[in-house]
Amino acid sequence: MKHERIITAIAAVMIVVVLIGEVIVYTSSTDSFNVDAKYSDGNVHYSVSISGSQVFSVIVMEDGMQPMTELYVYYDDGYASCYETERGPLGSPTVDQKSYIDQLVTALAFASELRVTILSADDLRAAMTDDVSAGNITKGLVVISGALPDTIYEGNTADLVFDWLADGGRLYWLGNLLGAYYSTPTGIDVVSGDYQAWFFGVSDCLNMDTNGTGFVSNDFIGGASTDGLRYNLSLKNNRVKYAVDTTKLTNYRAVGYSDDNTYASIVLTEYVGGNGMICVLAGDYSRNQRSDLVQVLSSGLCYSTDVIGTADGSVKHGTLTGEIDVSGPGGIYPPNVTVYIYLGGYFPVYGRLFS
């Protein structure tokens, strides 16, 4: 099955999710692109076609979590926020919370087939309550306000957000210390309990040095199967402010940059109270952080992701095909395989996840 779309500018296009066997075609005023991937008999067969010239990356992954079906984005201008306005390059406008979310949603419109819904505090409570009643949640929630609203979290272990995570929800957190505060229409309240243990299963696991920028320059190398994904996914954010201490976690994946393999710019960890996941993207709000979030969401990364094969190269005025053997010892084939292909290298122009 083939889909054709025409766009006038490919710079905004990053990642999109489709099923294995489908083909994507993008055509701009200068170049047209076509990528495809199929998985059979322990081999991934891929092809990349382009009328111009471009680099590409192929990442083959195996994961135990169900694919995410919908993404909530929390935003309520009637609630207090800890969001600190992002300063852009000299001469460019600052990016407030609403603008940040608008840009995120716009990028995801090109980058994913996920249904994205912006929810207020009250609507979020209603949606999460329905999800918990239905069970087996396959939805995610992005929060950039720096504090969860009191409709789902008031600093108690019996709060709705924990029931939602226990049933399979996936929380993507950016900015500030997760769980340290909750917001109301009139202000921000400080949580007095052991909020880090509630979310991560251990105390004192967040980077409390919040005064500095937390810039780091090394790849996270932890011996896990996701080592190298900073390069493979062209991740950019290199801050560990508000990050999670991976040495205190058990079932997790860390990608991106690190200081000494302790804090990482991106940590995806199992919610120890159930079947869900928490993803913390460290640092202050920035374009690089937002770009990394789009990559994480669109590539389907989870705390249980294993990278089982990669390839990269370049294509110029033609089609390149390749094959990656991912069969295990004795010819055992991994069951839950996804193939992520994107073009553009450090500045992705588009991509697809085949699953």
Query: Each residue of 295-327: pLDDT tens digit?
Result: 899 899 999 998 999 999 999 999 999 999 998
Paired strand residues for 182: 148, 189
Domain boundaries, the chain: 2-63+310-354, 70-299
Please tell me the predicted confidence (pLDDT) of residue 21: 43
Q: What is the mean pLDDT of residues 274-294?
A: 93
Same fold across 2-63+310-354 and 70-299: no
Q: Residue 212: pLDDT band by 50, 70, 90 thresholds?
A: low
pLDDT in tens, 170-187: 999 998 999 999 999 999
In the CATH hierarchy, which fold is given to the domain comprising 2-63+310-354? Immunoglobulin-like (2.60.40)
Q: How far apart are the first and last CA of the chain?
A: 14
Q: Residue 223: pLDDT band by 50, 70, 90 thresholds?
A: low
Let me know: does 305 contact 267? Beta carbons within 8 Å: no
Please tell me the predicted confidence (pLDDT) of residue 6: 34
Average pLDDT of every residue of the chain: 86
The residues near 335 (Cβ < 8 Å, ≥ 6 apart) are 62
The residues near 249 (Cβ < 8 Å, ≥ 6 apart) are 200, 201, 202, 205, 267, 269
Is a pLDDT exceeding 50 seen at residue 24? no
Please tell me the predicted confidence (pLDDT) of residue 17: 36
Q: What is the mean pLDDT of residues 192-216?
A: 89
Q: By three-state DSSP, how is residue 64 classified?
A: coil
Please tell me the predicted confidence (pLDDT) of residue 117: 97
Bigger pLDDT: 336 vs 142: 142
Q: Residue 33: pLDDT band by 50, 70, 90 thresholds?
A: confident
Bigger pLDDT: 112 vs 156: 156
Task: Tell me the DSSP string of 242-308.
Answer: T-BBGGG-SSEEEEEEESSSSBEEEEEEE-TTSS-EEEEE-SSS-HHHHHHHHHHHHHT--TT-EEE
Is a pLDDT exceeding 50 seen at residue 19? no
Which has the minimum average pLDDT: 13-22, 28-37, 197-206, 278-287?
Answer: 13-22
Structurally, what CATH architecture does the domain formed by 70-299 represent?
3-Layer(aba) Sandwich (3.40)
Percent of the chain's residues with pLDDT above 90: 59
Closest CA to 353 of 37, 44, 2, 11: 37
Which has the minimum average pLDDT: 145-159, 245-259, 319-333?
Answer: 319-333
pLDDT in tens, 53-91: 999 999 999 887 888 999 999 999 999 999 877 766 555
**Sheet of 115-119: strands edge to edge?**
115-119, 70-74, 139-143, 170-174, 277-281, 264-270, 252-258, 218-219
Please tell me the predicted confidence (pLDDT) of residue 252: 94
Please tell me the predicted confidence (pLDDT) of residue 213: 65
pLDDT in tens, 82-134: 987 776 655 566 788 999 999 999 888 777 778 999 999 999 999 999 999 99
